[in-house]
Amino acid sequence: MKIPAFFIAHGSPLLAIEDNDYTGFLERLGRELPRPRGIAVFSAHWDSPKQAVTVDERHETLYDFYGFPEEMYRLVYPAPGDAGLNRRIGDLFSAGNLSHQPVRGRGIDHGVWVILKRMFPDADIPVVALSVDSLRSPAEQYAIGRMLSPLREEGVLVIGSGGLVHNLRMLESGGEPAEWAVAFDGWIAEKLEAWDLEALFAYDKQAPHIRDAVPSYGKEHFVPLFYAMGAADDGRRAQRIFQAYQYGTLSLNCWKFE
């Protein structure tokens, strides 16, 4: 069975310990999916000009945040790596003429372990973390994801972890989502459902409220979308299966690509 690719918003690190609609959704998603033999995650919190790939036998948990409750720093997600999956990913990147770098000892950042802790709490599925490059064009990011599309037929779950609306300078305390954030997510949804690559690749010029939704200093949270889409280029079907907001503007969404 070909496993769908996903874009999953990782929101605040507190999702690891919170109990809300989104954390419940992630737990159900993990139970409902066919059990993957491995998971490859493109993380917004690993922005690198050269494609990097973790090659650890067992991952350390990276606490790449500060000022959170002490409980957060006691959480661990000791997922194993997979040498065979590492080699397969390296071969696919090489076949696509993409220079890549194996990285050992970095640990997995919260863009990876927070969502996986909710989806697969036993940490018993091999994980490979992958960097993104926010300075590449959307077409290049999509092409890198497409290189990994064969993995979906091999039982590997491919995830892009980030946030479509992610501007920490514009968080709000009110309960209702900001109209501009909803409008931006709506535009993205329309283009994704049509698989309109021309419009999506020009999102920075065409999408409404782009400077608020994807600030120049925060593109790394948006671009995992293109990596995840590329992994489903052979099917080109997009479905939004969750949408909510935290702090008025922090978009919590999950897109399934088949």
Condensed to tens digits (0 to 9), the pLDDT of residues 38-69 reads 999 999 999 999 999 999 999 999 999 999 99
Neighbours of 191 (CB within 10 A): 20
| % pLDDT > 70, the chain | 100
Mean pLDDT taken over the chain = 96
Q: pLDDT tens digits, residue range 194-229?
A: 999 999 999 999 999 999 999 989 899 999 999 999
Domain ranges of the chain: 5-257
pTM over 0.85: yes
Architecture of the domain defined by 5-257: 3-Layer(aba) Sandwich (3.40)
If you average pLDDT over residues 168-178, what whole number do you get? Answer: 81
The confidence score (pLDDT) of residue 7 equals: 98
Burial 140-163 (b: 16+ CB within 10 A, else e): ebbbbbbbbbbbbeeebbbbbbbb
